[in-house]
Amino acid sequence: MLADIEKYLYREVRLLDERRFEEWTDLYTEDGYYWVPAYPNQDDPYKAVSIFFDDREVMRTRLSRLDHPNVHAQKPASRTVHVVSNIEIDENHNVDGEVLVHSTLQMMEYRLDNQTSYGGRAQHLLLKTNDGFMLKWKRVDLINCDSSFGPLAVPF
Amino acid sequence: MTAYNNSALRELVQPDRVHRDFYINPEVFDMEMERIFGRIWLFVGHASQVPNNGDYITTTVARQPVIMSRDRKGEVHVMFNRCTHRGSQVCLEQSGNTQRFECPYHAWVFNTDGRFAGAPYPKGYEDGFLAKEKLDLVKLPRMEIYRGFVFVSLSTDVPDIDVFLGPMKDHIDAFCDRSPEGEVEACAGVFRYRYSGNWKLQMENQTDVYHIMFTHVSTTDEDGKQFRREGAEEDEAGKVKVLAQDSRLDDQWEEHPLGGHRHGHVYMGRFAMDKKNSGPIYDRYKASMEDAYGDKAEDLMTVKTHNSIFYPHWSIQHLTQHIRVMNPISVDCTENIIIPLKLKGAPEEMWHAALRSNNNSHSPSGMVMSDDMEVWVRCHEGLKTQSTDWVVLARGMNENFTGDNTGSYESHGTSESGARNQQVAWVDYMCGEG
């Protein structure tokens, strides 16, 4: 099981690094979402601002924009590498057909002579399917979530 | 001795162009901090960011760290974040609640109203010294609060806030009066982000209709989708819409209303693509507005301006529902603080839609702001070249203005009148005639 989950999470972030955004969006269930809170210890995305809080519709819009020929903030595009580690299955999450996974996540981003690193804790709620998993949600709590950022484009 | 006497400063700003030093010269920047930011009303925050007694936030005003707090009696204070003993900042948390501020260096303590509350080992001072010396945290020289908007100045010698705001006060009213309770609330935190460019590049950009269809082409052309600014309206499934159906742009922009007033304040009219809402949530909102304001409700609910840009460094974005503060950090670095505002008493779904709209368009990952920031950085870099000294801002010079950019005026569409009006104010302040 852990090996399958590792494989799934590695592929998930590889799709981002390879800018295969449509395939990444398709990992999510129809009601799935991707959330990066702008403050630590959040329990509700409607109580405070979020760096990302995307349902599939917003995700698709955001990421298809990155393929637009004149998306200036990504001309030239960022190169990223994600590192997933310290993967743990949450043993207290006892919902049939679901697996809650905790991990640590780092992303290095390079663009225009600048290299930036981001890091934090990730959670994935996976739904078991016949041929693997679907992503119900992914949440990333950056250690610098409430700092002053430069512009961001690629999901963590 | 500065190279910039008044006549040199005036030379930088011509009627239809400005010299690149206006944006990139560090000496000019230092003079701006003293002569513009040091002499007029600046925006610090909204009083609802410190709703309870003992609440505080820390921020900066013209590069100087400050604390905005609410004391135990409920009064709001803005004071410099600097211990009166040896100079240390007394608080580094972005926000919180406290009984007192304690300096980390020698544990001098101050009440939440700034009053000095004691120093350890007091016998080390001459008798009466601590009582006699002025040791309270130093307040900013002036502070005024208008409908929760907290203003300060770094000089006591500033005009009355009403005179400074002039007709722009109506823009604050228009925003607050969209709430059935007549109040807005900053209850969702803030976004902060920085770009490597001069603060004025953004101030001018906010009045610039001309760039929208090019800088933001990835969200405005046929395949692009702009985000709905005003919530809320449901789709067939009952879900609140966050995307606009048709954000394509056309010649409507040439007719777009713009305007401004004395002291560099400017505004943009409402965008034609921001359609009016309808549906059950909006009906509930309308009912609550009618209960509160009767016949005036319809007019108060109708948002007429896209943004209101208050010189020198902040704006209200009416439909996106945020205050944007542009804090200059250095000549080539600016920090934005985005403060989303809830219309108190309006349906919760509308607030949720506004919050999502802010996440989508004005967070550090925002699809609108990220392209803007890219352009400001490229401008700042480009202006470092010796290719030509001048930035051309001649659009709309042929337009028949009502007014002349030195008082209230109206203009249209893609005119660069807004930037020119800000620059008129810049010259006045820099030359001591503000």
Residue of B nearest to A65 (CA): B218
pLDDT class of B220 with cuts at 50, 70, 90: confident
The pair of structure tokens assigned to A64 is 């298809």
Strand arrangement, sheet containing B116-118: B100-102, B109-111, B116-118
| Helical residues (DSSP H) of A27-137, grouped into ranges | 56-65
Residues B135 and B246 reside in one and the same domain: no
The distance from CA A33 to its chain's CA centroid, rounded to whole angstroms, is 9
The pair of structure tokens assigned to B9 is 């400063």
Cβ-based burial of B306 (10 A; exposed 0-12, middle 13-18, buried ≥19): buried
Question: CA-CA distances (angstroms) from residue B24 to B18, B39, B45, B158, B198?
Answer: 12, 22, 28, 27, 7
- Domain assignment of residue B258, yes or no: yes
Q: Please give the share of chain B, as a percent, with pLDDT higher than 90.
A: 79
Q: In terms of Cα–Cα distance, which of B320, B308, B303 is closest to B226?
A: B320
Residue of A nearest to B340 (CA): A49
Mutate to test the interface with B, among A61, A64, A80 (most CBs of B within 10 A): A61
pLDDT class of B232 with cuts at 50, 70, 90: low
- Residues B380-389: what's their mean pLDDT? 97
- Residues B392-403: what's their mean pLDDT? 85
What does pLDDT average to over chain B? 92
Question: CA-CA distances (angstroms) from residue B352 to A41, B181, B317?
Answer: 19, 18, 17
Residues B70 and B173 reside in one and the same domain: no
- Domain assignment of residue B46, yes or no: yes
Yes or no: say if A142 and A120 are a contact pair by the CB < 8 Å rule. Answer: yes
pLDDT of res. B404: 73
Do A49 and B191 lie within an 8 Å CB cutoff?
yes
Q: In terms of Cα–Cα distance, which of B393, B384, B391, B420 is closest to B405?
A: B420
Do A68 and B365 lie within an 8 Å CB cutoff?
no
* Phi, then psi, of B47 in degrees rounded to 5: -60, -25
Question: CA-CA distances (angstroms) from residue A116 to A37, A79, A108, A110, B377?
Answer: 19, 11, 6, 6, 17
Identify the residue whose tokens are 């692009």: B224
* Phi, then psi, of B39 in degrees rounded to 5: -125, 0
Residue of B nearest to A52 (CA): B359
Yes or no: say if A65 and B367 are a contact pair by the CB < 8 Å rule. Answer: yes
Q: In terms of Cα–Cα distance, which of B135, B153, B155, B134 is closest to B143?
A: B153
How far is A133 from chain B, CA to nearest CA, in Å? Answer: 26
The pair of structure tokens assigned to B105 is 């260096």
What pLDDT, in 10s, does the model give residues B295-307? 999 999 999 999 9
pLDDT of res. B230: 60
The distance from CA B1 to its chain's CA centroid, rounded to whole angstroms, is 33
**pLDDT beyond 90 at B218:** no
- Domain assignment of residue B352, yes or no: yes
- Domain assignment of residue B31, yes or no: no
* Phi, then psi, of A20 in degrees rounded to 5: -95, 65
Which among B338, B359, B370 is the nearest to A73, CB-wise? B370
Lowest mean pLDDT among B50-59, B131-140, B252-261: B252-261
**pLDDT beyond 60 at B246:** no
- Residues B216-241: what's their mean pLDDT? 66
Rounded to two decimals, the pTM is 0.95
The distance from CA B142 to its chain's CA centroid, rounded to whole angstroms, is 18
Within 8 A of A38 by CB-CB distance, chain B residues are: 189, 191, 363
Whole-number CA gyration radius for chain A: 15
Residues B121 and B218 reside in one and the same domain: no
Instruction: For residues B339 and B336, give the distance between their C-alpha atoms in angstroms, rounded to a whole number.
Output: 10
Residue of A nearest to B215 (CA): A72
Which among B217, B335, B365 is the nearest to A52, CB-wise? B365
Question: In this predicted complex, what is the ipTM?
Answer: 0.95
The pair of structure tokens assigned to B384 is 């470092």
* Selected residue with higher pLDDT from B171 and B407: B171
- Domain assignment of residue B412, yes or no: yes
Instruction: For residues B311 and B220, give the distance between their C-alpha atoms in angstroms, rounded to a whole number.
Output: 28
* Residue B192 sits at the chain A interface (C-beta within 8 Å): yes
Residues B329-338: b if buried by 16+ CB within 10 A, e if exposed:
eebbebbbbb
Instruction: For residues B25 and B23, give the distance between their C-alpha atoms in angstroms, rounded to a whole number.
Output: 6
- Residues B97-116: what's their mean pLDDT? 98
Do B192 and A149 lie within an 8 Å CB cutoff?
yes
- Domain assignment of residue B16, yes or no: no
Do B373 and A70 lie within an 8 Å CB cutoff?
no
* Selected residue with higher pLDDT from B388 and B223: B388
The pair of structure tokens assigned to B189 is 């935190």
**pLDDT beyond 70 at B250:** no
Do B218 and A48 lie within an 8 Å CB cutoff?
no
Mutate to test the interface with B, among A71, A78, A114, A146 (most CBs of B within 10 A): A71
Yes or no: say if A68 and B218 are a contact pair by the CB < 8 Å rule. Answer: yes
Q: In terms of Cα–Cα distance, which of B351, B335, B106 is closest to B240?
A: B351
Do A48 and B188 lie within an 8 Å CB cutoff?
yes
- Residues B97-109: what's their mean pLDDT? 98
- Domain assignment of residue B402, yes or no: yes
The pair of structure tokens assigned to B320 is 């996106």
Residue-wise pLDDT tens for chain A (156 aa)? 899 999 999 999 999 999 999 999 999 999 999 999 999 999 999 999 999 999 999 999 899 889 888 899 999 999 999 999 999 999 999 999 999 999 999 999 999 999 999 999 999 999 999 999 999 999 999 999 999 999 999 999
User: Residue B408 CB: number of other CB atoms within 10 A?
Assistant: 16
pLDDT class of B153 with cuts at 50, 70, 90: very high
- Residues B143-171: what's their mean pLDDT? 96
- Residues B360-374: what's their mean pLDDT? 92
Give the domain extent around B226: 167-430
- Residues B58-73: what's their mean pLDDT? 97
Chain A interface residues (partner B, CB cutoff 8 A): 36, 38-39, 46-54, 57-58, 61-62, 64-65, 68, 70-73, 146-153
Please measure the distance between the N-terminal and C-terminal CA atoms of chain A and give it in whole angstroms: 24
Do A150 and B194 lie within an 8 Å CB cutoff?
yes
Q: Is there a cis peptide before residue B312, judged by omega within 30 degrees of 0?
A: yes
User: Residue B19 CB: number of other CB atoms within 10 A?
Assistant: 20
Do A146 and B217 lie within an 8 Å CB cutoff?
no
Q: How many domains does chain B have?
A: 2
CATH number at residue B94: 2.102.10.10
Instruction: For residues A52 and A36, give the distance between their C-alpha atoms in angstroms, rounded to a whole number.
Output: 5
The pair of structure tokens assigned to A75 is 């001309």
Do A49 and B370 lie within an 8 Å CB cutoff?
no
In Å, the largest CA–CA distance within chain B is 77
pLDDT class of B240 with cuts at 50, 70, 90: low
* Residue B360 sits at the chain A interface (C-beta within 8 Å): yes
* Residue B195 sits at the chain A interface (C-beta within 8 Å): yes
Residues B56 and B180 reside in one and the same domain: no
Instruction: For residues A52 and A106, give the distance between their C-alpha atoms in angstroms, rounded to a whole number.
Output: 16
Yes or no: say if B210 and B333 are a contact pair by the CB < 8 Å rule. Answer: no
The top-level CATH class assigned to A2-68+77-142 is alpha beta
- Domain assignment of residue B365, yes or no: yes
pLDDT of res. B172: 98
CATH number at residue B422: 3.90.380.10
Question: CA-CA distances (angstroms) from residue B228 to A32, B39, B278, B375?
Answer: 21, 38, 13, 23
Within 8 A of A50 by CB-CB distance, chain B residues are: 359, 363
Q: 3-state DSSP call for residue A149?
A: strand
Yes or no: say if B183 and B338 are a contact pair by the CB < 8 Å rule. Answer: no
Do A61 and B243 lie within an 8 Å CB cutoff?
yes
Which among B188, B242, B364 is the nearest to A51, CB-wise? B364
pLDDT of res. B402: 77
Do A153 and B370 lie within an 8 Å CB cutoff?
yes
Do B355 and A72 lie within an 8 Å CB cutoff?
no
Instruction: Please report which helix (H) or strand (E) contains residue B78, including its range.
Output: strand B76-80
Identify the residue whose tokens are 């000549």: B331
